[in-house]
Structure 1
Amino acid sequence: MSDSGDSDVAWTYYKDRPEWNDVTPVPEDEGPNQVVVIAHSEKFVDVYDYFRAVLQNNERSERALHLTKDAVELNPANYTVWQYRRDLLKALGTDLRSELDYVEVVIKNSPKNYQVWHHRRVLVEWLQDPTQELELTRDALMQDPKNYHAWQHRQWAIKAFGLYDRELEFVDNLITEDVRNNSAWNQRYFVINNHHGWSDLNVQREICYTLEKIKFIKNNESAWNYLRGVLLHDKRGVSGNAVVTSFCEELYKNKCRSPYLLAFIIDICDEAIKKEDSNCMHNANRAVELCQALAGKYDKIRSKYWNYICEKFKKFQQDDNNKDTADKIDE
């Protein structure tokens, strides 16, 4: 679907259709000082000149509805066309289920077009029938697992109509196929957060699930980010969960130097310092060491960031040393 179509064998221009003789086309007004003139095809100009005419006259007719189809084919991202089409559907009492079928075809041809997904959502809201939405979005995600618009529509349908029952199974299959699929990890969080809840049992289950995935691929940012998100719901925090800290230490001991592991250990040290753990200086020293390792070797592309974080821990070291010196003087 694009500004083409002049090669359509059976196409008849609207200006040559007898049933449109009563309509005066309205050309596009690009203003008096055009910087760049867009070279539209003759078919595009013809369709949109007539579209502007019926829109200007607020015509509510079957021919206007058919015209919007031609306009969508040439530019499926045109908001005004879709809005006018919705107005026509309501005014004409059109069968909305046939419209769903039509929109499905448009989505398959233009799966990353916000306007068509929004149109679909409005139709489902009007019908109060989400029975096709999980299958439709599943098919779209099979083509592109990171299609933001398909995920957004799926989340809306699930939340609006309570379609949570088998969503974890669906997400688990996607993560199994591609453990780096950040969109699938995000969907997992969405399901737990909005349906299952963050009971201690669920938190520990999700931690175990995530650690197993990290074991499989240690340099996977998606899983490490998910682990952070889960631990926000653990009252023990990042540094207080023995399962997580032991897991990280074991990886480090076995020579794993994934930047995500090192960054996570820095977070553990940082939280322990804020909790005024008895090993504050040890944690600060270790954080400095890890920041320097990241900046100098394991995550050099973000060296400025790690040097900045390093200075925070160095300041803590200095303040703590000054405090010890002051205490000795007082003695």
Structure 2
Amino acid sequence: MQFESDDLPLSQRAEWKDVTPIPQDDGLHPIAPISYTKEYSEVMDYFRAISRQKELSPRALQLTEEIIWINPGHYTAWAYRLDILKHLNVDLRTELTFLDEFAEENPKTYQLWHHRREIIKLLDDPSGEMAVIAKILQEDSKNFHAWSYRQWILTRFQLWEGELTYIELMLDQDVRNNSAWNQRYFVVTRGNTVTPDSGATLQREIDYSLAKIRLAPNNESPWVYCRG
């Protein structure tokens, strides 16, 4: 289905002529009404209309995209989008492409990472995901949501091999990266390629943390790691 330009208001697009928007009802005397933009109010009015009818269509999919570009944290729009994707049997690789573009501007949106996790569950294929996460972490090495998603990928698909090497590169770049230290502890204690109860493993990690302490003795992270 071809849609008219999203530069046009929904009320002026031919594909939405059959929909009667439902305005937000704040009651007669709202105490603190939110001053939404005209654009956001309109897309939400149409969203209420289609969600009430449980419409799972290509135009509804397009509408969810417009909503989350305006309000990246709109969890309901993200959840509805997932329902549409499943219903339409859309090629989920195209959804990953969309998420890549979205992450460039909204890398710390929790809903983005949750949605990506659900898409990967459906695909059951993490190909390329570690590279995507690495790109995000290159921009912000302490992005909590990206690290959490990385841990989920590692655990679900058992991709532990090479992770310690990656973490060492991160710590070589910034020995004060507490997120990377946390990731190292996660891998050492949970990864299936190491044995935390092994004396050799423990000594290796102690030696590693002590070496990093010598580089920056006032940095708390390796001290905490060594203690752990």
TM-score (structure 2 length as normaliser): 0.94
Return the offset for 1:10.
Answer: 6.8
Residue 208 of structure 1 aligns with which residue? 207
Residue 39 of structure 2 aligns with which residue? 43
Change (3 A) 1:10 1:94: closer
In 1, the alpha carbon distance for the partners of 2:13 and 2:173 equals 53
Matching residue's letter, 1:127:
L
Q: Which of 40, 49, 69 matches 1:53?
A: 49
Residue 171 of structure 1 aligns with which residue? 167
Q: How does 1:1-331 map to 2 (within 5 A)?
A: 11-195=7-191, 196-198=194-196, 199-229=198-228
Change (3 A) 1:155 1:10: closer
Tell me which of the two structures has the higher relative contact order, counting C-alpha pairs closer than 8 angstroms and 6 or more residues apart: 2
User: How many equivalent pairs are there?
Assistant: 221
Residue 297 of structure 1 aligns with which residue? none
> For each residue in 1:144-195, what CA deviation from the matched residue of structure 2 results, as whole angstroms up to 9, or x when unmatched?
1110000000000011101111111110011111111100000111111112
Matching residue's letter, 2:206:
I
Name stretches of at least 5 consecutive residues in structure 2 with no aligned partner.
Answer: none
Matching residue's letter, 1:213:
K
Return the offset for 1:27.
Answer: 0.8
Return the offset for 1:32.
Answer: 3.6
In 2, the alpha carbon distance for the partners of 1:95 and 1:11 equals 26
In 1, the alpha carbon distance for the partners of 2:183 and 2:195 equals 14
Matching residue's letter, 1:131:
S
Name stretches of at least 5 consecutive residues in structure 1 with no aligned partner.
Answer: 1-8, 230-331
Return the offset for 1:31.
Answer: 3.2
Matching residue's letter, 1:67:
L
Provide the identity percentage: 44
In 2, the alpha carbon distance for the partners of 1:105 and 1:75 equals 15
> For each residue in 1:180-233, what CA deviation from the matched residue of structure 2 results, as whole angstroms up to 9, or x when unmatched?
11000001111111121211100001111111111111111001000110xxxx
In 1, the alpha carbon distance for the partners of 2:107 and 2:55 equals 30
Give 1 or 2 for the bigger CA radius of gyration: 1
TM-score (structure 1 length as normaliser): 0.65
Aligned-residue CA RMSD in angstroms?
A: 1.2
